[in-house]
Amino acid sequence: MRLDRWLVEAGVGPRRTVADLVRDGRVVVDGSAVFDPGCPVSATAAVTVDGRPWVWVDGHTWLVHKAEGYVTSTDSHDGIPIIQLLPARLRHLAWKTVGRLDKDVTGLVVLTTDGELAHRLTHPRWEVGKTYIATLARPATVADVAAFAYGLTFRGSGEELRPAELSWGDDPTTVTLVLHEGRYHQVKRMFRARENDVLTLRRVAHGPVRLPDDLPVGGARPATAAELAALRAVVRLDDPAAP
Ligand code: URA
């Protein structure tokens, strides 16, 4: 592939920036300075920029701990785009947000440049579980557990929800809810339908990947190889027989 593409995909920066770095002689490929951004390089080439080694990766997947005030939609008028929580050198890549969170909701958001991974993780066919912790205005009840397990129907829109698992520990105003789909304001609307209100909401897991304990609010880090493998496995991305 072209050197400039290699550098962009490795996350060095946008195409114009990397082209300037190459022309300025700051990029060394397999031990030699290279001045042509279009020169061919192999995916496994040893590349340094200002002496710092980079590796080319086939797609980026990051875990972000969304803070309040950030928006997962691409419309930035309503808040700060979640992409801003990624390092500046990566923001120009073609990121896909895996499942939306409301502006006031915190927790795990997976961002990936792998369109097929994002598509499958959000497609209802794969029923990938999303785990939320909600604090409620009133205690949850066993009737709520049964209603969610059966599958609510929203009055008004008539939307029929898939079964969802509601549980709690000692305090029934702090509950865990696992959904297998992602509808607009779903958790808040589910509790509203049960005459309760969500006070705070946090997503703590997306499928097999949990919000890392050591990832601060507003922090972001690349998914580990194990996390990425788990995400790919849950939607059978490496299984040619998958539907
Ligand atoms: N349910 C909601 O109500 N809001 C979210 O952001 C996610 C799930």
Average pLDDT, the chain: 94
Question: Over 70: is that where the pLDDT of 24 sits?
Answer: yes
102 is catalytic: yes
Q: Are residues 161 and 67 in the same domain?
A: no
Q: What is the pLDDT of residue 77?
A: 77
Mean pLDDT across 208-233: 97
Within-domain flag for 218: yes
Q: Are residues 89 and 137 in the same domain?
A: no
Within-domain flag for 197: yes
Give the ligand 1 atom nearest the CA of 102: 6
Within-domain flag for 13: yes
* Ligand 1 contact, 179 CB (< 6 A): no
Q: What is the pLDDT of residue 74?
A: 67
Scan for tokens 């080694």, then name that residue.
Answer: 53
| Cα 181 to ligand 1 centroid, rounded to whole Å | 11
| Ligand 1 pocket test, candidate residues 176, 183, 185, most atoms within 8 A of CB | 185
* Ligand 1 contact, 185 CB (< 6 A): yes
Q: Are residues 119 and 159 in the same domain?
A: no
Q: What is the pLDDT of residue 239?
A: 81
Give the ligand 1 atom nearest the CA of 203: 7
CATH (domain of 103): 3.30.70.580
Mean pLDDT across 13-30: 95
* Ligand 1 contact, 186 CB (< 6 A): yes
Q: What is the pLDDT of residue 243?
A: 72
* Ligand 1 contact, 188 CB (< 6 A): yes
Within-domain flag for 27: yes
Cα angle for residues 154, 155, 160 (degrees, 5° grid): 35
* Ligand 1 contact, 161 CB (< 6 A): no
Least confident of 13-17, 201-205, 224-228: 13-17
Q: Is 153 helix (H, G, I), strand (E, B) or coil?
A: strand
Which residue, judged by its Cα, is nearest atom 5 of ligand 1? 101
Instruction: Residue 22: give the domain boundaries.
Output: 3-54
Q: Are residues 43 and 20 in the same domain?
A: yes
Within-domain flag for 171: yes
Residue type, 14: P
Task: Please tell me what DSSP assigns to residue 44.
Answer: T
One of 36, 78, 102, 104 is an active-site residue; which one? Answer: 102
Mean pLDDT across 216-221: 98
Mean pLDDT across 74-82: 81
Q: Is 66 helix (H, G, I), strand (E, B) or coil?
A: strand
- State which of 20, 35, 54 marks the end of a domain: 54
Q: Dump pLDDT digits (tens) for 38-60.
A: 999 999 999 999 999 999 988 89
Q: What is the pLDDT of residue 211?
A: 98
Q: Are residues 23 and 136 in the same domain?
A: no
Distance CA 124, CA 130 (A): 12
Q: Are residues 141 and 192 in the same domain?
A: yes
pTM of the entire structure?
0.89
Residue 1 CB partners (closer than 8 Å, separation 6+): 40, 41, 43
Q: What is the pLDDT of residue 238?
A: 85
Q: Are residues 116 and 212 in the same domain?
A: yes
Within-domain flag for 40: yes
How many domains does the structure of the chain reveal?
Answer: 3
| Cα 160 to ligand 1 centroid, rounded to whole Å | 17
Q: What is the pLDDT of residue 241?
A: 78
Q: Which residue would you say has higher pLDDT here, 241 or 26?
A: 26
Q: Are residues 119 and 67 in the same domain?
A: yes
Within-domain flag for 241: no
Instruction: Find out whether 86 and 62 touch, Cβ atoms under 8 Å.
Output: yes
Q: Dump pLDDT digits (tens) for 123-168.
A: 888 889 999 999 999 999 999 999 999 999 999 899 999 999 999 9
Pairing of strands 80-81, 70-71: parallel
Within-domain flag for 120: yes
Q: Are residues 104 and 134 in the same domain?
A: no
Instruction: Find out whether 171 and 116 touch, Cβ atoms under 8 Å.
Output: no
Question: Over 80: is that where the pLDDT of 83 sits?
Answer: yes
| Cα 233 to ligand 1 centroid, rounded to whole Å | 25
| Cα 230 to ligand 1 centroid, rounded to whole Å | 23
Mean pLDDT across 184-195: 97
Q: Are residues 102 and 214 in the same domain?
A: yes
Q: Dump pLDDT digits (tens) for 103-120.
A: 999 999 999 999 999 999
C-alpha separations of 100 from 9, 22, 104 in Å: 25, 38, 12
Scan for tokens 């994002």, then name that residue.
Answer: 118
| Cα 59 to ligand 1 centroid, rounded to whole Å | 27
CATH (domain of 9): 3.10.290.10
Q: Are residues 190 and 217 in the same domain?
A: no
Q: Are residues 98 and 150 in the same domain?
A: no
CATH (domain of 141): 3.30.70.1560
Question: Over 70: is that where the pLDDT of 75 sits?
Answer: no
